Amino acid sequence: MEYNFLEIEGKWQRYWADRGTFRVDIDAAKPKYYVLDMFPYPSGAGLHVGHPLGYIASDIFSRYKRLKGFNVLHPMGYDAFGLPAEQYAIQTGKHPEATTTQNVARYREQLDKIGFSYDWSREVKTCDPAYYKWTQWAFLQMFNHWYNLDTQRAEPIAELEARFAAEGNAQVHAACSETPRFSAEDWASMDEAARSAVLMNYRIAYQGETSVNWCPALGTVLANDEVKEGISIRGGHPVEQKKMKQWQLRVSAYAERLLTDMEDLEWTDSLKDMQRNWIGRSQGAEMIFKVSNGSEEFDMTIFTTRADTVFGVTFMVLAPESEWVEKLTRPEKKEEVEAYLLAARKKTERERMAETRKVTGVFTGSYAKNPFTGEEVPVWVSEYVLSGYGTGAIMAVPAHDSRDYAFARQFNLPIIPLIEGADVSQESFDAKEGIMCNSGFLNGMSVQEAIPAAIDRVEAMGIGQRKINYRLRDAIFSRQRYWGEPFPIYFKEGIPCPIPVEALPLTLPEVDKFLPTESGEPPLGRAKDWTYEGYPIEKSTMPGFAGSSAYYLRYMDPHNDEALVGREANQYWRNVDLYIGGTEHATGHLIYARFWNKFLYDLGHVCEKEPFRKLVNQGMIQGRSNFVYRIKNTNTFVSLGLKDQYETTEIHVDVNLVNNDRLDTEAFRAWMPDYAEAEFILEDGEYICGWAVEKMSKSMFNVVNPDRICEEYGADTLRMYEMFLGPLEQSKPWDTKGIDGVHRFLRKVWKLFFREGESLIEEGAADKKALKVLHKLIHKVETDIENFSFNTSVSAFMIAVNELTDLQCHQREILEPLTILLSPFAPHLAEELWEALGHSESISSATFPTYVEAYTVEDTCEYPVSFNGKMRFKLTLSKSLTPKEVEALALADPNCEKYLAGAPVKKVIVVPAKIINIVY
RNA sequence: GCUCUGGUGGUGGAAUAGGUAGACACGCAGGACUUAAAAUCCUGUGGGCAGCAAUGCCCGUACGGGUUCGAUUCCCGUCCGGAGCACCA
């Protein structure tokens, strides 16, 4: 009987499913451990061999933790709302739900083949009404709360209303959109619509006019993290800026907490860095400049981090979208300015980026007064100032800011250096170092002293104060699409009102087509009777990140109909101990989920401040593409080594037609009709293909399907090989040819247990050498798993099994712990061997073996001896010797005499148990 | 431009509180078994030089310096790759 992996794997997968081996429940007697994978979007293409990498790692860790006595929550589900299913629906008319259901089934089938230890009874799908009920519920909570800066938490909007009625809004410190001041009397005199408009400025989920990323091809707005280089991430369509009224989440209110709470998380520095970067905290000051357009004078506020450079302000710049532009444009400049604004508006985000280096701008004709010097400086308008950051207006200090410098050079504006010795003839001096000059009362101070001193003066003069700005913007939360969660909001005489929680879920209606309506409304505009109590319901849907922001909470208590997560379940499972997924979510999902969690924490619905304690980012598995070389204008293909003799075109060839870079020429001819008559120029009788590492994708014909690997080699081989490929965090190419080594290893394990169908398992005491091999392995595997160094673990297994094979070791005393060690990696094989060892329970209820150091310590140790740092010979001596004794024995060794050859010895260095270095 | 990463054989990668670089695996070469192939097993495999040989010597962890008896590992500089942010005042 050979190692029949197909039979074994089928058998144990059925066993696990039938017995519900991996179902977990709250068990107060055991410590909990929550291992989570980032759930997949079930795409039509199915899984390729790169997708399960993280899942395998998390599964190994889950199984390991179970063996260590933890009650492990390890669930899986699907991020099932999203654009691809909808785009497909537009093309084919097939309902996204049907497509999604089909894809989910396919994913499940593929996942099951790999033998994961998920508790499938906890599966969630974000498009399931029973699930998105809680997404809608969370939205309503955000709608009904505001962020109080005094208490630094979300509080009920009803309390805010009471405060408005009692005292107006002057004393309310909230994270809010700009709202004019009003008194209690003003509030009393407002009608319902006016009050609603005011409250909207305070809600955490609010509707507001803002500049958004509009994607005409997709017909929807997108969040910042869904756009990259002016192109939509899904679909790759151009994106432009447009002012629109949209639902938004006030994520910016949580900026500081998102930043500080990150400190205690076990995330990689680079990921924390990305989040810090995205949040973009910057400390500075707001400062008022008096500006005049000749007829009227205004107070204009700007933000700066370099208050120390006020003496070098030689002009001011407004963002084209700034409301100040209109106020400050002089009649004689009107035409010029408007032409500039029009040109700026017409540009897409992408064009703006392409022109980053081009300096453009226009003078408004107005002047601002420097509050420190009283000097008048011109006010310009330029694209390089962003409307969304700070106040959309800046003071320009060309000597010490490279962007201002470029602008000043372009338009011949003066440049005044403020730091001693700074040469600004060629470029600006941006560094925050040096001694101030030309700066009145700041002269002689270092920059570090001058910044606070300048702000102190600004505050004393009553023209500004310290201010912290964040780059993090509020998340745009509505999408003009069909396949997403409907908003539980209806409009009563135009006033947005929440649909009561009892009426949730508000299920997605049927539509005849998945396209916008003729009048340009989102697809939900097509739904018949899309109303609540006769009033129209919001027609946008929620974005992809809505459903993925709290799914880890739902897994704790997936069938609870009363709450997103019940108190008991939440108190027990608390938060995710280990989260595995890709870095691509660093600035999207991982920010939103943290925000969502913090909001629910403020409301007392969850007991932990942070959702994900430890985070591991698995690398991408890239494809390894193969190429053939066609001689130009022929149907003849030349082998890699000879291609330079011809003029050739490189063509991707399906990696499944290639074995070890040798092309199966017959299969190639059969592959596509174009190649049926192909001729080949071979070398050594073979066609050698070129290769390159690229993204795994259909168009490059380098996709390897895990199903195929499972059929040919088995899931256990796949699991171990994926781990063996290299460090988990690192990106690396998939190359099927290396898989044999791992497969051979598993067969060797099999051979320790069976020969020709007969069990080899022996009772009785094992050899000392075998015990040493085993205990070294226990130690190595344990530390490796704890450090997520799975690749070196696999190597350690290989070495150990080779040694045990050489020792002809078949004792239960060795084989039993070995099987347990192996079970997280190759669970099917381990179960089979465990059964052969006479156990009737699943190996997942076994206990991880304990490492006994005594079995592995050596009583001797090697002392390499070096002369002047050069290693010459080794001594094997007792471990218990003192450095002095080792030194004496080393000098007495005949080799030493030989090498020293009478040279005078200056000193002998003994590094404990390692090297003796003799200097002469 | 800024931030973060990384650079080791033909390939994937081992080894860093500084201590025999290249574990393990793939590939390749040779051998055993076989009528043959597959499978399996064994041996060799960084480069160079010397030797019939066992073996010995030299060079090697992107490049150039530094610290050290000793550097793939620590420090400084340069080059190249990958990721993220990108006019954030």
A648 touches strand B (CB under 7 A): no
> Nearest nucleotide by C1' from A400 CA?
B89
Q: What is the pLDDT of residues A120-170, one digit of tens each?
A: 999 999 999 999 999 999 999 999 999 999 999 999 999 999 999 999 999
Write the CA distances from A900 to A323, A455, A883, A896, A909, integer angstroms.
Answer: 86, 72, 20, 6, 15
Give the span between the Cα atoms of A397 and A405, in whole angstroms.
7
A748 touches strand B (CB under 7 A): yes
Cis peptide before A516 (omega within 30 of 0): no
Gap from A231 CA to B77 C1', Å: 38
Give the span between the Cα atoms of A594 and A581, in whole angstroms.
15
Q: Is the pLDDT of residue A912 over 60?
A: no
A581, A544 in Cβ contact below 8 A? no
A339, A325 in Cβ contact below 8 A? no
Give the span between the Cα atoms of A819 and A826, in whole angstroms.
9
Gap from A869 CA to B75 C1', Å: 21
Give the span between the Cα atoms of A413 and A406, in whole angstroms.
10
Gap from A789 CA to B61 C1', Å: 21
- Rounded average pLDDT over A607-630: 91
Residues sharing a CB contact under 8 Å with residue A903, sequence separation 6 or more, in sequence order: A920
Q: What is the pLDDT of residues A362-390, one digit of tens each?
A: 999 999 999 999 999 999 999 899 888 88
- The share of chain A scoring above pLDDT 70, in percent, equals 93
State the SS3 of A814-864: HHHHHHHHHCCCCHHHHHHHHHHCCCCCCHHHCCCCCCCHHHCCCCEEEEE
- pLDDT top residue among A628 and A820: A820
A239 touches strand B (CB under 7 A): no
Gap from A615 CA to B6 C1', Å: 21
Return positions of chain B under 7 A from a protein CB. Answer: 3-5, 11-15, 19-21, 23-28, 40-41, 69-70, 82-89
> Nearest nucleotide by C1' from A731 CA?
B82
Q: What is the pLDDT of residues A180-237, one digit of tens each?
A: 999 999 999 999 999 999 999 999 999 998 878 888 888 888 877 787 777 787 777 8
Give the span between the Cα atoms of A230 and A42, in whole angstroms.
26
pTM: 0.92
A110, A707 in Cβ contact below 8 A? yes
A583 touches strand B (CB under 7 A): yes
Cα-flanking dihedrals φ and ψ of residue A142, to 5°?
-65, -35
> Nearest nucleotide by C1' from A794 CA?
B24
A300 touches strand B (CB under 7 A): no
Running DSSP on this structure, what letter comes out for residue A514?
Answer: S
Gap from A621 CA to B27 C1', Å: 21
Give the span between the Cα atoms of A722 and A727, in whole angstroms.
10
Q: Is the pLDDT of residue A859 over 70?
A: no
> Nearest nucleotide by C1' from A796 CA?
B24
> Nearest nucleotide by C1' from A864 CA?
B20
A17 touches strand B (CB under 7 A): no
Q: Reduced to 3 states, what is the DSSP secondary structure of residue A489? A: strand
Give the span between the Cα atoms of A173 and A159, in whole angstroms.
13
Res. A294 pLDDT band, cuts 50 70 90? confident
ipTM of predicted assembly, 2 dp? 0.94
Strands A315-318, A297-304: pairing kind: unpaired
Residues lying close to strand B (Cβ under 7 A), chosen from 243-282 of chain A, are 269-270, 273-274, 277-278, 280, 282
- pLDDT top residue among A358 and A646: A646
Q: Is the pLDDT of residue A589 over 60?
A: yes
Q: Is the pLDDT of residue A913 over 60?
A: no
Write the CA distances from A71 to A67, A91, A553, integer angstroms.
Answer: 10, 46, 17
- pLDDT top residue among A13 and A895: A13
Give the span between the Cα atoms of A341 and A624, in whole angstroms.
49
Burial of A442 per CB tally in 10 Å (0-12, 13-18, 19+): buried
Q: What is the pLDDT of residues A60-109, one digit of tens each?
A: 999 999 999 999 999 999 999 998 899 899 889 999 999 999 999 999 99
Give the span between the Cα atoms of A589 and A226, in whole angstroms.
11
Gap from A843 CA to B23 C1', Å: 30
Cα-flanking dihedrals φ and ψ of residue A195, to 5°?
-65, -40
Give the span between the Cα atoms of A466 and A304, in whole angstroms.
10
Gap from A907 CA to B19 C1', Å: 18
A398, A404 in Cβ contact below 8 A? yes
- pLDDT of A474 reads 92
A780 touches strand B (CB under 7 A): no
- Rounded average pLDDT over A433-437: 88
Q: What is the pLDDT of residues A308-363, one digit of tens each?
A: 999 999 999 999 888 899 999 999 999 999 999 888 877 765 666 666 667 889 99
Res. A244 pLDDT band, cuts 50 70 90? confident
Q: Is the pLDDT of residue A543 over 80?
A: yes
Among protein residues, the one whose C-alpha sits closest to the C1' atom of B5 is A270
Give the span between the Cα atoms of A122 and A557, in whole angstroms.
8
A567 touches strand B (CB under 7 A): no
Lookup: tokens for A317 = 């710049």
> Nearest nucleotide by C1' from A281 CA?
B88
- The share of chain A scoring above pLDDT 90, in percent, equals 66
Give the span between the Cα atoms of A225 and A279, in whole angstroms.
12
